[in-house]
Structures are given as structure tokens and as C-alpha cells.
Amino acid sequence: MSTPEIVRTQHDLRGQVREWRGCDLSVAYVPTMGALHGGHLSLVKLAGQHAHKVVVSIFVNPAQFAPDEDFEAYPRDEAADMARLASTGCDLVYVPRPGSMYKAHHATRIKVGRVADGLETDHRPTFFEGVALVVTKLLNRVMPDYVIFGEKDYQQLAAIRRLVEDLDMPVKVIGAPIARDEHGLALSSRNVHLDEDGLVIARQLNGIMHTCAERIRMGHEVARATAQAKTGLLAAGFSGVDYIRVADPDTLEPVLHGHVQGQPLRLLVAARCKGVRLLDNCAVRGLADAQG
Ligand code: AMP
């Protein structure tokens, strides 16, 4: 395994994928926005377990950033990304030229409903439209057999599953577990913006979230347990909690009140720490599940 090749045009990308297909080789694909860390690399490794060849794309997608968000400030370092991808099993890196993705006359929008309504959309109303659009375009360009998304962005993964199924896209979506640092903080490209104090605060998110999930599993009332967790996050130093919500793991239908009766559920959190918005989530295993 060595440094993967880079392609920057659809022509070169398709040429390489066509050549592999001609040799009966399957392709798994990992879309990223770069600023690669261990979470991305775990997706690349998982991709290699599913297919003969692995493509990674690096593209900071302007369509998923609102005008007041950090598109310009989003960390970018292609050389460092390429170094990280060496010896991971990645065969090809696709770095589309920024101007090639959305031409001046681009007019198509894609809106995933239901699963992509609420939670993130309450705070970033056009985010999933931007994600659905770029993922559709990238899948049409790469045409992989498998595409890998992280559970770290759980609602995004659920929305992509819906998109792929609803539009009959010929690709299998694979979810990858959340990669965390040794203190339990979910790895994220935006963690580089946390100073030392911020890191100390951010690292409490995972524990508070798991305590909340455990309380719900043990039969505590959902609204009470999530309110306690919110109080805990604010006391830990988070400046705000956008949501802490229990939901069905597939449809993301919220469970706002009551006692959980053993059905599988997901706990999803978005909280702000020193200007950095952190996402995390975990399973609230039902009582029946928890026996195993
Ligand atoms: P991004 O570059 O942030 O768009 O992320 C690209 C892919 O990596 C998405 O599918 C993310 O869900 C996934 N990802 C990011 N961080 C992690 C992590 N800590 N663990 C697992 N997957 C991750």
C-alpha cells in the first residue's frame, strides 16, 4: 500500500473506474470534505473490507454551508490529507476543481423529507439540501458499488439512506461506527478550532450523553432525562444545546415524553462549545436488547 493517485476531472475519474470495472473489480467510495482525521481513515479501512478498490473524494461543498457559516474558514490542507491517506488502502483520491461542481446555470435541487426534517434542519435549514445534491452528483460521477458514511453524522446517514432508496440509486450505503479520541470525544474536522479549555469541556459530551441514554434505558422518563442532560452540558461549560433528542433509529421520529418500552432508539445531541458546534449520538438500547 502506498500513496494513492489524485484525479481532478470527471474524465480521469471515470476512466480509472471503468478500467477497474473491466477487470471485474468492485468499488467502495468515501465522500469527505478533507481535513482528514482518524474518523475518515476508519471509513476508508471499512471501505477496503467491502470492495477491491477504494475511492475517497475531498470537496468542501459550498451548497451545504449557509451564508453565515464557516465555508471560508473550513480547514483545508490537501498535502496533509494525501499524507494521511497513504497506506490506508485508498486507491484513488478525487479532488474536483471547485468551479466544476456547480456551473453558473445550475438549477436543480433535491429535498429529502421527513427523516431530514427537524434536528439539524431546525438550526441549518438548507444543510441537507446541499448534502443531498452533492452526494447525488458525486455518486453519479464515481458510480461506486458501496458508499460509506459515518454514524457520527447520524441524521445525514439516515437521510442518505432515504435518498438512495427513494431515487433507486444503484449503490449500497454502509454506516461506519463513530471514531473517538481517548477521552471519548467524537473526532471531527472542526475540533481543531477547540483550544485547551474547549477540549476539556467538549470531552464531557460523550459521558453526559451516555448517562442520559442509560437513564432512559433504565426507565427514567425521556423528557426528564434529556432535560437533566441539557443542564449537565450547560454546567460543564457548553454555551448552548441545540438539541438533545431521543428518536427512532431509522425514521428519526422523535420520542419526546414517556418511558421507553424496550424498542431500539437513538439519542442525538448537538451542542456548542467555545464557538464550535459538536454533534454526537449513541444507541439507547432497549431493555430487551440490553440483555445481550
Ligand atoms: P466530513 O468530511 O466531515 O464531511 O465527513 C466525511 C465522512 O466522515 C462523513 O460520512 C462523516 O460522518 C464521517 N465522519 C466524520 N467524523 C467521523 C467520526 N468521528 N467517526 C466516524 N465517521 C466520521
Average pLDDT in the 272-289 region?
84
Q: In the 3-class helix/strand/coil scheme, how is 197-242 assigned residue by residue?
A: HHHHHHCCHHHHHHHHHHHHHCCCCHHHHHHHHHHHHHHHCCCEEE
11, 40, 52, 193: which one is catalytic?
A: 40
Give distance in angstroms: CA of 105 to centre of ligand 1.
30
Task: State the pLDDT confidence band at 286, using cuts at 50, 70 and 90.
Answer: low
Over 80: is that where the pLDDT of 182 sits?
yes
Over 80: is that where the pLDDT of 266 sits?
yes
Q: What confidence tens digit (pLDDT) does each residue in 96-119 have?
A: 998 999 999 999 999 999 999 999
Q: Is the CB of 39 under 6 A from ligand 1?
A: yes
CATH superfamily of 189-285: Pantoate-beta-alanine ligase, C-terminal domain (3.30.1300.10)
Residue with cell 482518524: 38
The residue ranges of DSSP E strands in the chain, in sequence order, are 5-7, 27-32, 53-58, 92-94, 146-150, 172-176, 240-247, 265-273, 276-284
CA-to-CA separations, 212 to 60, 91, 218, 232, in angstroms, rounded: 34, 41, 10, 10
* CB within 8 Å of 121: residues ≥ 6 apart: 127, 128
Give distance in angstroms: CA of 116 to centre of ligand 1.
17
CB-CB contact of 5 with 85 (8 Å): no
Task: State the pLDDT confidence band at 291, using cuts at 50, 70 and 90.
Answer: very low
> The sheet that has 276-284: what strands, in order across it?
240-247, 265-273, 276-284
Q: Where is average pLDDT lowest: 65-69, 166-170, 195-199?
A: 65-69
pLDDT of residue 249: 96
pTM of the predicted structure, to 2 decimals: 0.96
Ligand 1 pocket test target in 152, 190, 191 with most atoms within 8 Å of CB: 152
Q: 129 is written with which cell numbers?
A: 439540501
Give distance in angstroms: CA of 26 to centre of ligand 1.
22
Average pLDDT in the 213-225 region?
94
Average pLDDT in the 213-221 region?
93
CATH 3.40.50.620 residue ranges in the chain?
A: 5-176
Does the domain at 5-176 match CATH 3.40.50.620? Answer given as: yes
CATH 3.30.1300.10 residue ranges in the chain?
A: 189-285
